[in-house]
Amino acid sequence: MEPSLKTLKRLFALSCNQCAFPSCVLPIVEESGTVTGIVCHIEARNKKGPRYNPEQTEEERHAFENLVLMCARHSKQIDSEVDRFTADTLLDIKKIHERRGGIELGIGDAKKVEALLEDYRSIHVHTKRATIERAEVIHAGTVQLKTTRSKVTISPMEGTIAADRLSRNYIKYLIDRYNDYASKQPGRAFSFAPIYSEINKKFGAKWDNVPISRLPHLTDFLQKRIDQTMLGKINRSKGHHNYSTLEEYRRKYDEGVRD
């Protein structure tokens, strides 16, 4: 059994074609049509899977309520860290991500969903079949497989915020401060993703790939966003600081202290 196309369309629309993991804005399906995300089961589809619930029916396992879309990295993480990412935790992540509202599916989006379903089938159907076929031709009592894989390290791009540890930590500190303040505003649906999308749109790059020469501009942008939150305005009216300056953060960072 598998999720229906109708279910995946609803999931895709409400996810806005983005990974549901907090702060992640990676697409599930690229504009080219390449599927880079995963249809994840909150409670596993089979007995050996993470968070498996024996009381679920097959229909419930593949229903909208038990599915969430994530990038490959975070899909691996939630299934490897089961104690941290329980079913209840994933349900909360799903609700927060979908709470901001979805998109209306156009023709191009519908094709992306179809590609997503085909990719799901290739993972859960073709892989299983291939495993069975390989098992049928193995007659040895013990089979040992050895593989060597070179470790690949990707260095930050030179001249970007990511290449300067202090600058990267400071910008991430401001982003986290904004998300913390914004999430406390009453009567407003909150998602971690928009601030990352706004930075990408305004500066033409992912937040840590912004050129180091634009650090003052990005800093000013984030500090103003923090000050404009309700909590930020309240703090300012009382004469309280909403964040550390870069120099203040530098001193705390050098001493290994974070506020």
Q: Please state whether the predicted TM-score (pTM) of the whole model is above 0.85.
A: no
Give the whole-number percent of the chain exceeding pLDDT 90. Answer: 45
User: pLDDT at residue 130 above 60?
Assistant: no
Which one-letter amino acid corresponds to residue 89? T
Q: Specify whether the CB–CB gap between 252 and 244 falls below 8 A.
A: yes
pLDDT beyond 60 at 258? no
Distance between CA atoms of residues 191 and 100, nearest Å: 7
Least confidently predicted of 23-27, 239-243, 252-256: 252-256
Q: Are 60 and 66 in contact (CB under 8 A)?
A: yes
pLDDT of residue 197: 81
Highest mean pLDDT among 13-17, 138-142, 145-149: 13-17
Q: What pLDDT score was predicted for residue 158?
A: 82
Are the CB atoms for 221 and 202 separated by under 8 Å?
Answer: yes
- For 190-230, what is each residue's pLDDT tens digit? 666 678 888 888 988 888 889 999 999 999 999 999 999 99
Question: Residue 40's pLDDT is what?
Answer: 95
Q: Indicate whether 175 pLDDT > 70.
A: yes
| DSSP code of residue 242 | S
What pLDDT is recorded for position 98? 83
User: What pLDDT does residue 218 have?
Assistant: 96
What stretches of the chain show up as alpha helix (H) in DSSP?
5-15, 58-61, 72-80, 87-99, 107-121, 127-136, 165-182, 193-203, 215-227, 230-237, 246-254
Average pLDDT over residues 91-102: 81
For the chain, what is the mean pLDDT?
82
Task: With a cut of 60, say whether residue 92 has pLDDT above it.
Answer: yes
Residue 52 pLDDT grade (very low, low, confident, very high; cuts 50, 70, 90):
very high
Q: What is the pLDDT of residue 193?
A: 62
The Cα 168–Cα 58 span in angstroms is: 45
Domain extent listing, the chain: 5-121, 161-254
State phi, psi for 218 to the nearest 5 degrees: -70, -40
Q: How far apart are CA 98 and CA 14, in angstroms?
A: 5
Q: What pLDDT sits at residue 23? A: 79
The answer, yes or no, to whether residue 64 has pLDDT greater than 90, is: yes
What average pLDDT does range 21-47 have in this prediction?
90
